[in-house]
Amino acid sequence: MHRAEWEGAAGVVVRAFVRAAVSCEVVELDAPGAPSHPMALLAAEGFFEAFLPGKEIFRYQLRYRTSWGDVHQVYNAYSFLPTLGEQDLYLFNEGKEQRVYDKLGAHLRRLGEVPGVAFAVWAPAATRVSVVGNFNGWDPRYHPMRPLGASGVWELFVPGLEEGELYKFAIWDQHGRMRMKTDPYGTYFEAPPNNAAIVQSVARHEWGDRAWMQQRLADAGRVDRPMSVYEVHLGSWRRVVEEGNRMLTYRELAPLLAEYAVALGFTHVEVLPLAEHPYTGSWGYQVSGYFAPTHRHGTPEDFQFFVDHLHQRGIGVILDWVPAHFPRDAFALAQFDGTHLYEHADPRLGAHMDWGTLIFNYGRHEVRCFLIASALSWLERFHIDGLRVDAVASMLYLDYSRKAGEWIPNCYGGRENLDAIAFLREVNELVHRLYPGVAMIAEESTAFPLVSRPAAEGGLGFDYKWNMGLMHDTLLYFQKDPIHRKYVHDKLTFGMVYQYSENFMTVFSHDEVVHLKASMLTKMGAANSYDKAANLRALYAWIWTYPGKKLLFMGGEFGQNREWNHEASLDWHLLDQPAHKGMQSLVGDLNRLYTGDPVLGMNDFNPSAFSWGNCTDGDHSVISFLRLDPATAHEVYLVIGNFTPVTREQYLVGVPGPGFWREVVNTNSAYYGGSGFGNFGGVEALARPADGRTHSVELTLPPLSTLVLHWAAAAETVPPRPGTKAKTAARAATAAPVAVEPAGPARRKRVARPAQARPRRK
């Protein structure tokens, strides 16, 4: 409605474009009982006009009749003022609107007493933008949006719309070509191939995780705390084979995954990217909806239930987040308004060479605002406890995977992407300031310095960095036939050269069990399945006691035989076999040992808490180290690995002092699937120097195994600490029948054989 003059008379004019209407009239809301004002039909498509002389602007509705006789009375979308203010737009254009996800996109609003949906989209180069959906027959003529000054934002409040409406934006570029785009800020999407956004509330769930969130806040700043992460792809962790191999929903997954993680002693679950993505085979790493949990497992509220349930069971949730690149799908971000809006125009900056995707323009304020808001929205709306940032190395370097001439140096002539570095520092600083206790984790595969150091110290500001070097070195070592391992002994020791340069998380991730790399079990260097399992058990015990937070991809905990397949469930039937069940039991015991004792779980980043035992016996492929409490030196763990199929008897290892060393983990235990002998639960230290120490222990080192022995001052009078429970200790002392929880008569008989029960040495 506008003030106007017609043939010398002043008044107001009302125009409306109503789909399928054959007649329309203006109804005065503040004058009940007043006659309505008929409108003239100017075009058969439903364009009406009425000039009302002598009237001032008033509140009104439109009453229209359709061609099939229905009568509707509605508000006119263009009778409402914009829902975004100048301050909103200013902060967005400056890249400082941290809650822009509450402003742009589609939001259920009530303007006065009128409910509806407010739509807003950033498309600065567009000549015209319309919102389309089921409510207007996907016809872009019916709801053109209004440009809000020079902000580049287009906005429209459509009254009467409710949750569940499907919509997209029709965007005309400078050449008059129209593109149909889905909402970059959408919170829920329909399945491909249509990919429409769906109006959905994300504020309805009633959270029950208050205790968890309070504890998370109390732990803020404690980076060196126990952290053992179970990495999961929700679509293939478990499936319902009986129902067409369907994926489980968020609500179905929550109790199953929580129970499993608790039973195995994990502290966190890390889920592969759940932001909406069009191609299932991308595992979520090619994102089209940066603010929306994927529809594949349910609604946003269902995902909130998932996180809430895990929190109430004491399990944190880490989400893979992908700000490094995005796919070229025509319906999503690529050339959004006909220009390279989110990506760089120059392919030397904007094209990702490895994945055929596009790289964000981190130097553009609105793009940086979009990505930062994405990160913060997952923490605010879904209570996520950590973001693992994918492919950080590809963000840091302008020449990443590029040959000479295929990249553009920065303003100083260097290869560092200064805009990306500034972006990472900003998002990390904001997360830590606004959501204390949330962990930021970098998957960074190069030697870029200070990744996990504060920005104020010149770092990137992450809490943790994946230790890709240790992962590759240890796997290379264990993939070797044991007879050749002495030639690569340095692969076990080199990592300590840089171990304390970052806050490292030791990882065996999904990337190591796909693309013909073999599963964790089958890549072990051995000729038979028994020795492969022994190798993997030894590797796990070595890594769980080595400094660094822990991460293991699903299936690895029970020694899955085949590579991971994202279209099928894990092979849970393998747990019917003792070897696989034993592997799972070992991982559970290692988690409880690691998380239960501060010597291990709270000293990962303290170089004073680690000391080599004997790291030079490469000829025998034996290596040992000590983990200790640096504050008192009254508690020590000795870890020793024998990575050949040869039993080493009367093997001396230097220890700090006299006393009884209790064998708390023996990966050769029959309980774990081993042959079932060891050191009878522990040994007494001898006053015999070794490895530069005054005392030593004389051990039997079972083949292809790792032993963990624990010593504490006055050990005989000190009760077991959490994580070194009697049950765990008993499993280690596998020489005696009482030391094993047998799975059946055959195992009991094998463990008790005299040939495996050596006399205890004095």
Distances (CA, A) of 147 to 91, 158, 331: 17, 15, 21
- Torsion sign across C-alpha atoms 86, 87, 93, 98: negative
Concatenated DSSP letters of 516-530: TS--TTTTSS-SSHH
d(CA 362, CA 351) in angstroms, rounded, equals 14
Phi/psi of residue 678, each to 5°?
A: -165, -120
Determine contact, residues 719/550, Cβ cutoff 8 Å: no
d(CA 716, CA 348) in angstroms, rounded, equals 67
d(CA 120, CA 159) in angstroms, rounded, equals 14
Structure tokens of 245? 């191999």
Considering 173, 426, 443, 473, which one is annotated as catalytic? 443
DSSP, collapsed to helix, strand or coil, labels residue 67 as: coil
Please indicate whether the domains covering 2-77 and 606-756 agree at the CATH topology level.
yes
DSSP type of residue 562 = S
d(CA 559, CA 540) in angstroms, rounded, equals 11
d(CA 35, CA 22) in angstroms, rounded, equals 19
- Counted residue by residue, the chain has a size of 762
Whose tokens are 């287009």? That residue is 154
Of residues 18, 17, 35, the one with CA closest to residue 26: 35
Whose tokens are 């003059």? That residue is 5
**Percentage of the chain modeled with pLDDT above 90:** 89
* Dihedral angle over CA of 568, 573, 575, 579, nearest 10: -100
Alpha helices (runs of H) in 659-701, residue ranges in sequence order = none
Q: Looking at the domain covering 86-198, what would its CATH class be? A: mainly beta
Residue 193, class by beta-carbon neighbours within 10 Å (0-12 exposed, 13-18 middle, 19+ buried)?
exposed
Instruction: Give the number of other CB atoms < 10 A from CB of residue 6.
Output: 11
Beta strands in 581-680 (DSSP E): 610-612, 622-628, 635-642, 648-655, 660-666
Is 443 an active-site residue? yes
d(CA 106, CA 155) in angstroms, rounded, equals 10
- Torsion sign across C-alpha atoms 572, 574, 577, 583: negative
d(CA 231, CA 490) in angstroms, rounded, equals 28
CA terminus-to-terminus distance, the chain: 100
Q: Which parts of the chain have pLDDT scores under 70?
A: 633, 714-762
pLDDT of residue 634: 80
d(CA 84, CA 122) in angstroms, rounded, equals 12
DSSP, collapsed to helix, strand or coil, labels residue 482 as: helix
Considering 390, 419, 557, 617, which one is annotated as catalytic? 390
Is 390 an active-site residue? yes
- Torsion sign across C-alpha atoms 434, 435, 436, 438: negative
Architecture of domain 2-77: Sandwich (2.60)
Determine contact, residues 742/753, Cβ cutoff 8 Å: no
Structure tokens of 275? 């932001």
Strand-pair partners of 144 = 130
Beta strands in 594-721 (DSSP E): 610-612, 622-628, 635-642, 648-655, 660-666, 682-684, 695-701, 705-712
Distances (CA, A) of 265 to 431, 588, 643, 725: 27, 6, 26, 13
Whose tokens are 């007879």? That residue is 483
Percentages helix, strand, coil for the chain (3-state, rounded to 5) are 30, 25, 45
d(CA 620, CA 633) in angstroms, rounded, equals 30
Architecture of domain 606-756: Sandwich (2.60)
Question: Per-domain residue ranges for the chain?
Answer: 2-77, 86-198, 606-756
Residue 557, class by beta-carbon neighbours within 10 Å (0-12 exposed, 13-18 middle, 19+ buried)?
buried
Q: Return the H-helix or E-strand segment holding 298.
A: none
d(CA 736, CA 584) in angstroms, rounded, equals 22
pLDDT of residue 714: 53
